[in-house]
Homo-oligomer: A and B are copies of this chain.
Amino acid sequence: MRILVTGGAGLLGTRLIQSLLDTQPTIDGRPITAIMSLDIGPCPIGDGRVESVIGDISDPRVVESALGPDTAVVCHLAAIVSAEAEADFERGMQVNFDATRVLLDACRRLAKAPRFLFASSLAVFGPATVEPLAENIAPMPQSSYGTQKAIGELLVNDYSRRGFIDGRVCRLPTIVVRPGRPNQAASSFASSIIREPLNGEEAICPVASDLPLWLSSPRIAVSNLIHALTLPADRLGDWRTFNLPGLTVTVSEMLDALERKAGAEARARVRFEPDAAIEPIVTSWPGGLEVKRSLALGFGADRNFDDVITAFVDDEATAGRTQG
């Protein structure tokens, strides 16, 4: 059986594919014969079982071509990120909303309902009046990205209830520390303020130092996505949307951990410069979500932010050795 991963060239997509190859010879007892990445660029993994479809997911023909009769699992990670979806409403609707629906409808036409993992986000929520935000609180998104993700959640649940797919929705915390360069996510700074100082570079923090963020390392996020994918359907209950575990950490606390890891000079490389485009989006997200149900289902959690930084440094060192 084949797996389709949309956004397979991105950070989480690439790590998800690598982790599936490394740890999951089978899903539900069926051997994984191939993993198809659908993205605007090729998946960087050099492995004969990985194929890349390069194209725009908002083109229905591209989606159709990426699904085959033996596709049994779909991991839908592709999205236009938050600040971009806010700046370009049409593009956000096309990618985050229309493409999700096209993909769901293509899945529905498969002979057997595929397992369908949908990456949602804490951005479905507006500001929390109390934190952590209870699991059954209504999404009242204050961004178009959050709205589009919240709509996707509803569709995945209804398509699952009708038996068109076997869906699982994971609301991801902000993923920190991302390797590479900043992107258009409003939360991109949360990685920059750790990554750049560790690399001896300056970083700009566009929000106040006391802002609490809800964070997950890429490692834990990927292992949780795989956990969601491999949970038996009868354990999920009637509602298939899960808040993935995260850490509530303020910007100051992140910088404290950076200082413990890399010294005061690293911390001094972060400048605070409020950004009128970023701040309203990020401050509209809750700083913590209740995750009792996820923990009871066996989802994992980062221990603390110091470990998140250490994991990033280790992963970078491994990547450096692999490339070198």
Report A's interface with B, CB cutoff 8 A.
Answer: 89, 126, 136-142, 144, 147, 150-151, 154-155, 157-158, 161-162, 238-239
Contact = CB atoms under 8 A, between A and B. Distances in A.
Nearest to A161: B142
B239 A140 contact: yes
A158 B141 contact: yes
Given A147-B155, A151-B155, A126 B162 contact: no
B136 A138 contact: yes
13 contacts: A126-B238, A126-B239, A136-B137, A136-B138, A137-B137, A137-B138, A138-B138, A140-B238, A141-B154, A142-B161, A144-B158, A144-B162, A151-B154
Contacts of A139: 138, 154
A150 B138 CA distance: 11
Contacts of A162: 89, 144
A154 B138 CA distance: 11
A147 B150 CA distance: 11
Which of A89, A151, A154, A238 counts the most B-chain CB atoms under 10 A from its CB? A154
Nearest to A284: B238
Nearest to A164: B89
A155 B151 CA distance: 8
A97 to B, nearest CB: 9
Contacts of A154: 139, 141, 147, 150-151, 154
A155 to B, nearest CB: 7
A309 to B, nearest CB: 34
A238 B283 CA distance: 14
Contacts of A89: 162
Contacts of A142: 161, 238
Given A162-B89, A238-B142, A147 B137 contact: no
A157 B140 CA distance: 8
A157 B138 CA distance: 13
